[in-house]
Structure 1
Amino acid sequence: MRYSQRGFTLIELMVSLVLGLIIVAAAVMLFIAGQKSFALQQGAADIQDNANFALNYMTKDIRMANLNAVTATMTASSANGGIVFSTANLADVASSAVSQSEVSNTSNVNVGSDQLVIQYLPTQAQIDSGLFDCEGTQVTDTSVYVIERYFVRQDANINNNETSATALALACAAGRSNNLTAFNRDNGQIIMKRVDYFHVLLTVQNSSGNFRDMTIAQYTTNAPTARIVGVKLGILARSNQSVGVDSNINLAKPFAILDQSPDQSVTLNSTIQSAQTKNLRQVITQTVAIRNALGGR
């Protein structure tokens, strides 16, 4: 009695195994690429969401700088001027709580972040409609100036891929001109997470009517009598979540922010550059015209 035997030959089995491995490898590659693309898109969306909220919040308040001041002309020596540089603008303010350039230990780049301090006198209409400062405290008095300080500080909530020194955020501290005790030392409310660097330029108008942008240090040193009419904000923001070890993200590249030419660009510090996992970074800018800085009052 004869039995017929059927099956795959060794060569057919080997070919099918190779084809199966190729298909599996392609599927794995597609999955990895999809995961990488998703992480990058999530990082970009994270930056945009944080930036939109923070800049809209800041712009609304900065535009009110110099509101109800005695004169529309805003300089480094204007009493109750909309931007605070010293006690000439705001009595009893601490030297550390005024607008200044390159505050030490406040960035993840090779220079310190800037600090911007504004003040304004609210109107009764604003109070009646429900006015709150940047820390969420309701404004109730039209005779007391509201003071707001925008600066970079450490965030106590630390992610897995960062340290207490690198977990920086943009914050705002608010106070009142009749009580600066808490304002001078307040850590403030975080309004934008994960900011590596915060840069401020002042748009000024000289006696000839010409406009130029200056850093806070340049203005206070070289042109303290020039009229301030606007503010430019520059932020080096990074995603809150890591995007892995993507080789396309170069942590050593320079970033030019606002007025910075290629030879003045900022670079991430060595701690960030040596990080095992990476975050997406983006330069975000905003120009704010101070509506109370023009006119002849």
Structure 2
Amino acid sequence: MNKKQYGFTLIELMVGLVLGLLIVAAGLSVFIAGQRSLNLQSGMGELQENANFGLSILAHDLRQTNLNTSSSQIVNNKASGSGIIFTTDNLPLSLAGANADNFTKQNNNNSATSVKSDQLTIQYIPQYLEVTRQDDCTEDPADSNCKKDSSGNFKKDTKYYVVDNVDCEGGKIDFKEKRVIVQRYFLKEDSFQIPGQPKAYGLYCDAGNYISGDAEIVGIGKNAQQLMQRIDAFNLKLGVRKPDGKSMRYATINEYLNTLMPVTVTDSDEYYNVMSVEVGVLARSTTPLNSESLIDNNKPYKLVGNNLILNTEQKDGSKFLREEFSQVVAFRNTLGVTE
């Protein structure tokens, strides 16, 4: 009498194994697709947040351009006190030796593209609030303001000019004189680099200040702070009003300085005055997406009229999401002269 056989045949085991592998593969495929989608959405959200937040801060700063300056609401490369600093002509005579590397320039700084990035330098005088404080002093019969207080210490009243705000470096605006604030926006290598990834850049702001009589812009070029991380390019165009006062056009910095307003133009009736600025950044995500086939490192970009391609290091490096962002900022403190 034959005994009954129990269990699976070899064919049944093989079929079960194949079905199991198919189910696992399908689940793994869904997981990988979901992970890629999550990484893509996360990168895009990070990109949008970084660029939009950074541009809003930049635009807020730029709207102060030319505020309370001595330029009579004029912004050009000829007027002393002009809200944009192009040359030493826009500064007091005492600053004739100021470092021109800190002025507004085109194609001035290295970038992640084949073209260097621009640099924008503005100046303004904040709406100061005058306050009086008690400062220490040394007893001096000739100084009637230096008096002994109830604690036996010599004090005198000193006027300070303060603003309930900070400059772009986060420094307090608190002086004994109404000083002019200078802010320089430029691209440079990010202080935090990730090994194995192409060189990263950021948009930085450098702040300084001066009053007429100073031989240098105090603090400029010493403590720049990052406004936006992972910025591959920073370019701008100037919105200028034609001498007839009836029409406007955009010009690059070099076009403005060399073609529209060269040194040979001396008649104020022929001046092209700057009314606005269009700033643009090419931003990228911080996380690489090397598995994303839709990302092409050879893709050309157009930023405020400039045709850009990534440099060789960026092309050969990791894949990142990239997007152009731009914003036009009108200089509120220049519009009055055109009415």
TM-score, normalised with respect to structure 1: 0.91
Residue of structure 2 equivalent to 1:99: 104
3-state SS, counterpart of residue 28 of structure 1: helix
Residue of structure 2 equivalent to 1:140: 174
Displacement of 1:2: 4.9
Unaligned regions of 5+ residues in structure 2, if any?
A: 131-160, 262-270
For 1:1-297, what aligned pairs fall within 5 Å after superposition? 2-70=2-70, 71-90=72-91, 91=95, 92-104=97-109, 106-124=110-128, 130-141=164-175, 143-163=178-198, 166-178=199-211, 179-183=216-220, 185-186=221-222, 188-208=224-244, 209-224=246-261, 225-260=271-306, 265-275=307-317, 277-296=318-337
The code of the aligned residue for 1:113 comes to: S
Cα RMSD after superposing both structures: 1.9
Higher relative contact order (CA 8 A, sep 6+): 1
The answer as to whether partners of 1:161 and 1:242 remain within 8 angstroms in 2 is no
3-state SS, counterpart of residue 336 of structure 2: coil
The answer as to whether partners of 1:86 and 1:93 remain within 8 angstroms in 2 is no
**Cα separation, 1, equivalents of 2:106 and 2:273:** 19
3-state SS, counterpart of residue 42 of structure 1: helix
Q: CA 1:218–1:116 in structure 2 vs 1: closer, same or farther (change >3 Å)? A: same
3-state SS, counterpart of residue 242 of structure 1: coil
Displacement of 1:244: 2.9
3-state SS, counterpart of residue 303 of structure 2: coil
Q: Deviations over 1:261-295 (max 9, x none)?
A: xxxx11001111111x3211111111111110111
**Cα separation, 2, equivalents of 1:233 and 1:161:** 31
Equivalent pairs counted in the alignment come to 288
**Cα separation, 1, equivalents of 2:285 and 2:181:** 32
**Cα separation, 2, equivalents of 1:172 and 1:76:** 21
**Cα separation, 1, equivalents of 2:291 and 2:120:** 35
Q: Which moved more, 1:240-249 or 1:218-227?
A: 240-249
Higher strand share: 2
**Cα separation, 1, equivalents of 2:239 and 2:11:** 77
Query: Whose radius of gyration is greater, 1 or 2?
Result: 2
3-state SS, counterpart of residue 292 of structure 1: helix
The answer as to whether partners of 2:284 and 2:320 remain within 8 angstroms in 1 is yes
Q: Percent identity?
A: 36
**Cα separation, 2, equivalents of 1:28 and 1:148:** 52
